[in-house]
Structure 1
């Protein structure tokens, strides 16, 4: 990359910290990386504080630290942890690019809002993960990995005993039995973390390939006696099961779950209602003191009946049900480093000769651009030129 190329694109980042969010969509290391690609960065004051990055860190890396109004005025592209709200969308300059998880699978009204504002919306949730060129842009994978790790720590903190087996003067304490439902990126990370803490780990996923992945990490695969051989959906995400498959799966999982001390569910489907993996009957079947962590809890529902996002509920039978959709934010420094790289690589993909350019005949562009789509003109034939 040319170090001396004059920057013609400015990338703007806002302070999104607050509530359950501590991450930032740009880190000082990524400022340096983008600088080498002739992209300047401006960031709102204190945007990185909650993630462990000071304004001075950004300035030393080559970014400008400015007010929110100045970020809006100076930038042609904006990166986000969470999508911008309607008020901010209305303030962004027409023709600018909005990059992040935009929820385009389920919220066409929001996509229409971006279109009406004259913005180009790049929805990372639409990333075709199977493309090798898309790997470094895969925000879902990077954040789910952090989430799986943190979910186990959350469960261990809530559980009233040890995860590992311990021999004490008062006798031997058996290890915790942990069930991971969903063996994607988050689930596999959860398996590894729970095993490192000494738990006896079992996992389940509808994808046939998951059994080998689970067992390769030293966990047992939960055998339900069912066959969902078409368990993987488009782009490598878990697919929604049919009603019949879901009913059979739920009945079997509910019955098996009663054997475990901790249940962690990780089956998120980006922008869509997550599949139900543990019904009320399954929750009721767990013993007093058991812990459930539902990483997919959301306003659309969760993997576990009765879970609520960012709430801990103690059921009548003494089970702790923790709705934890924002676990990645609890590891804000690492999560931000990963996310910032993902979003920056999406931005860099669309930069050509110092301009932001889309080519909807290219698979990656066609998938990612959800608003402000500009079709390439038809090629002119020799006869038309004459």
Structure 2
């Protein structure tokens, strides 16, 4: 049997600094007997040089060579040159097929087998080492608290000085998934008085476990498979009205709510922004949680509130994010591709959950419901 080659592609998405495999990850993959071929400059933006990969046992080559010689292609986000992907290759990454369902059809048309880590079922303990959404959300939540602290014009902790006492910042984190809980923990470590909110009943207990206060709005629902679900429009309207009353009490608001395959819920309305004190900061990590926010943009409203759109913060911490992601990939490859190749057939529930398309056909049930061809 010929040796399987795993190719690591340079990311093509704008502002993306992560890389799908680190030199440490290459060492781990090489132990399984596979060859690793890294595109020239793939790790440059994450501070991993080609020499680092070569020292770990990888070969280095141009993009066409990686496409031509690799059996499995590793990415963080979908490559922009999908039509250049050779038929018969396996593509593994955070492909977001529910957010961009046309991608599944394009990959199938290319004859590519695609595996998307963002479809991984979080409720399966065996899948946890492969859970890239969790690892990247941890990084993003950490950076969100730091970025909000940097943008805020005051101190996060209470400081007692000869010039007087500075009160601690009042921070509200909306959404208590992985990113939200990490933002809560980091803001608390910085000394802020932190309150958390999540519509999911089980997540409210998670907030309390961090030592933060829990904002109660008497609006609740249950999650599914570890993810948030889209809310009924009437319930969402009640929630938004309640949050509009609550948000102005805080100096800093960090929003983290996302619905896989759906639109992020609006949590901070224009009325809420108008009610906040000048100098307040609102950071939209969820993308679409805050009225008027735009990705990778920092604006100041006419009332003096700084609004930061930051839906891809993990990419701004490339060393930590890439290291965690590479470990997720190694865990997935070790579990689902033990010999470096996909099994011809599999009843494995993890494999079935992350497989998007194979043999020119879209096979994922949720995508088939969307009538992707």
Residues 76-104 of structure 1 show CA distances to partners (whole Å, capped at 9, x for unaligned) of 1111111112xx22222211111112221
Alpha carbons 1:23, 1:335 under 8 Å: kept: yes
Counterpart of 1:232 in structure 2 is: 223
The answer to whether the aligner puts 1:333 opposite 2:324 as a matched pair is no
**Any residues of structure 2 matched to 1:197-212 within 5 Å, and which?**
197-212=190-205
> In the alignment, what sits opposite 1:90?
83
Structure 1: segments with no counterpart, 5+ residues? 1-5, 377-386
Give me the whole-angstrom Cα distance separating, in 2, the residues matched to 1:74 and 1:218: 52
Aligned counterpart in structure 1 of residue 113 of structure 2, from 108, 120, 145? 120
CA shift, 1:346, in A, is 2.3
Is residue 194 of structure 1 aligned with residue 187 of structure 2?
Answer: yes
In 1: Cα distance, 2:126 partner to 2:2 partner: 24
Equivalent residues of 1:8, 1:355 under 8 A apart: no
> What is residue 281 of structure 2 aligned with on the other side?
291
2:367 aligned partner? none
Q: Aligned partners of 1:129 and 1:216: how far apart in 2?
A: 20
Mapped contact 2:16–2:315 kept (Cα < 8 A): yes
Once the two structures are superposed, what CA deviation does each residue of 1:182-202 show, in whole Å capped at 9, x if it has no partner?
Answer: 011011111111011100000
Equivalent residues in 2 for 1:359-378 (5 A)?
Answer: 359-372=345-358
**1:311 corresponding residue in structure 2:** 297
Match of 1:258, SS? helix
Whole-Å Cα distance in 2 between the matches of residues 7 and 137 of structure 1? 26
Distance in 2 separating the partners of 1:44 and 1:255: 51
1:16 Cα deviation (Å)? 1.5
The separation in 1 between residues aligned to 2:101 and 2:152, in whole angstroms, is 41
Indicate the residue corresponding to 1:77 in structure 2. 72
Query: What whole-Å deviation, never above 9, does each CA across 1:352-373 have from its counterpart, x for those lacking one?
Result: 4453225353211211111116
Q: CA offsets per residue over residues 49-82 of structure 1, 9 Å max, x none?
A: 2112111111111001111111111101111111
Tell me how far apart the structure 1 counterparts of residues 163 and 106 of structure 2 sit (CA, whole Å).
Answer: 64
In terms of mean alpha carbon deviation, does 11-20 or 237-246 score higher? 11-20
Alpha-carbon distance, 1:17 to partner: 6.4
Q: Contact 1:194–1:201 at 8 Å: present in 2 too?
A: yes
Equivalent in the alignment of 2:336: 350
3-state SS of the aligned residue for 1:179? strand
2:202–2:222 CA contact under 8 A, matched in 1: no
Match of 2:307 in 1: 321
Spell out the pairing of 1:1-386 with structure 2 (5 A cutoff).
8-16=3-11, 19-85=14-80, 88-224=81-217, 226-228=218-220, 230-233=221-224, 235-297=225-287, 302-357=288-343, 359-372=345-358
3-state SS in 1 of match to 2:249? coil
Query: Deviation of residue 375 (structure 1)?
Result: 11
Question: CA-to-partner distance for each residue in 1:152-206, whole Å, 9 max, x for gaps?
Answer: 1100110001100111222111000000000110111111110111000000001
Contact 1:98 / 1:120 at 8 angstroms: preserved in 2?
A: yes
- Please tell me whether the aligned partners of residues 150 and 331 of structure 1 are also in contact (alpha carbons under 8 angstroms): yes
Q: Distance in 2 between matches of 1:7 and 1:153?
A: 48
**Aligned-partner Cα distance in 1 for 2:2–2:157:** 54
